[in-house]
C-alpha cells in the first residue's frame, strides 16, 4: 500500500493572508525603535488588532487546520494554545492597570472641580492616587518578569504555519512590554519631575515636549510638585487611557476569538 506524504511547509508562493501577516509583522518590528509615546503605543495597538485579525483568517484556512491537527505537531499546537492564554492574561493585567488608574484620575478631577484644589480632600485623593500607582507598578513589574520567560522553544521541523504564529506571539509580547513600560513611566522619576517643572514654566516648552512625553509620568511628577496645576495633565491622561482602553478591549476580544479557534481545531 502506498502512502502519500504531505509537505510541512507552505507552497513556494505563500497564501495572500500569510503575506499580509508578514507585512503587519514587519511594520510592528520597525516601530519597536520608535519613541514610547502615547501616539506610538496607540499605533502599535492598532497594528496588533490588524495582525490578529489576519491570524483569525489564517486559522480558518483548511491548510492551517490540517497542519495544527496533525499528530506530529500536537506539542507545538499545544504550546500555541498555552501562549494564547498567556497573551490574554497579560492583556488582562494591562486592562486592569488602565482601569484602576483611570478611576483614580477621575476621582482627582472631581475633587479639583468641586474644591478648586484647596481642600484637604484633594491632598487625600492625591495620596490615594500615588499609592494606587505604586500598586499598579508592582503588578506591572510582575507582568514584565512573566514576559521574560514566555518565549517558545524553536524546532527546525516545525511547520511554517506554527512558526508564523510564534512570530505573532513574540511581536505581541514585545508590544505589550512597551505598553507596560509606558504605564509604569520612566525609572528615573526625579528626571521626569524636572521635565514637568520646565513644562509648567514655559508654555512653549510644553507645546514642544508634550507630544512625545509620557502622560503617566507627567501627572505623577505634577502631583509631587503642586496638585493645583495638575488639572490639564489629568485631562490629557484620562484621554490617553480612554484611547488605549478602547484599543486594548478590541484586541482582547480578538485574542479570545483566536484562542477559541485554536481550541476548536485541536478538539476537532
Contact 248, 45 (CB under 8 A): yes
* Residue 70 in grid coordinates: 496533525
Domain ranges of the chain: 36-182+245-266
Check whether 100 has a pLDDT greater than 50.
yes
* CA-CA-CA-CA torsion sign (95, 97, 103, 106): negative
Q: Which of 156-160, 181-185, 189-193 has the lowest mean pLDDT?
A: 189-193
**Average per-residue pLDDT for the chain:** 79
Entry field: residues in the chain: 268
Mean of pLDDT values over 127-137:
85
Least confident of 44-58, 107-121, 194-208, 224-238: 194-208
Predicted pLDDT at 116: 59
Cβ-based neighbours of 19, under 8 Å, separated by 6 or more: none
Q: What is the pLDDT of residues 37-88, one digit of tens each?
A: 888 899 999 999 999 999 999 999 998 888 888 888 888 888 899 999 999 9
Are 37 and 216 within 8 A, CB to CB? no
Q: Give the CA count within 13 Å in the CB-facing half-sphere of 253.
A: 6
The three-state DSSP-derived secondary structure of 87-120 is: HHHHHHHHHHHHHHHHHHHHHHHHHHHHHCCCCH
- And the C-alpha cell for 193? 519631575
Mean pLDDT of 181-198: 56
| pTM for the structure as a whole | 0.80
Amino acid at each position: 500500500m502506498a502512502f502519500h506524504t504531505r509537505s510541512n511547509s507552505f507552497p513556494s508562493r505563500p497564501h495572500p493572508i500569510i503575506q499580509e501577516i508578514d507585512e503587519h509583522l514587519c511594520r510592528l518590528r520597525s516601530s519597536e525603535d520608535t519613541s514610547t509615546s502615547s501616539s506610538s503605543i496607540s499605533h502599535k495597538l492598532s497594528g496588533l488588532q490588524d495582525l490578529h485579525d489576519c491570524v483569525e483568517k489564517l486559522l480558518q484556512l483548511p491548510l492551517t487546520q490540517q497542519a495544527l491537527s496533525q499528530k506530529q505537531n500536537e506539542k507545538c499546537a499545544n504550546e500555541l494554545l498555552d501562549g494564547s492564554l498567556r497573551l490574554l492574561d497579560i492583556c488582562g493585567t494591562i486592562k486592569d492597570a488602565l482601569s484602576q488608574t483611570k478611576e483614580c484620575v477621575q476621582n482627582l478631577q472631581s475633587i479639583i472641580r468641586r474644591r478648586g484644589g484647596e481642600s484637604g480632600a484633594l491632598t487625600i485623593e492625591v495620596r490615594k492616587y500615588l499609592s494606587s500607582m505604586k500598586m499598579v507598578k508592582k503588578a506591572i513589574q510582575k507582568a514584565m518578569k512573566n514576559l521574560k520567560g514566555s518565549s517558545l522553544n524553536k524546532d527546525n521541523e516545525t511547520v511554517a504555519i506554527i512558526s508564523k504564529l510564534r512570530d505573532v506571539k513574540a511581536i505581541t509580547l514585545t508590544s505589550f512590554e512597551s505598553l507596560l513600560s509606558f504605564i509604569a513611566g520612566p525609572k528615573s522619576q526625579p528626571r521626569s519631575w524636572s521635565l514637568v517643572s520646565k513644562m509648567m514654566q514655559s508654555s512653549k516648552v510644553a507645546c514642544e515636549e508634550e507630544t512625545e512625553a509620557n502622560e503617566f509620568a507627567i501627572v505623577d511628577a505634577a502631583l509631587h510638585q503642586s496638585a493645583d496645576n495638575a488639572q490639564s495633565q489629568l485631562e490629557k491622561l484620562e484621554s490617553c487611557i480612554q484611547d488605549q482602553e478602547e484599543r486594548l478591549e478590541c484586541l482582547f476580544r480578538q485574542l479570545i476569538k483566536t484562542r477559541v479557534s485554536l481550541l476548536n481545531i485541536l478538539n476537532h
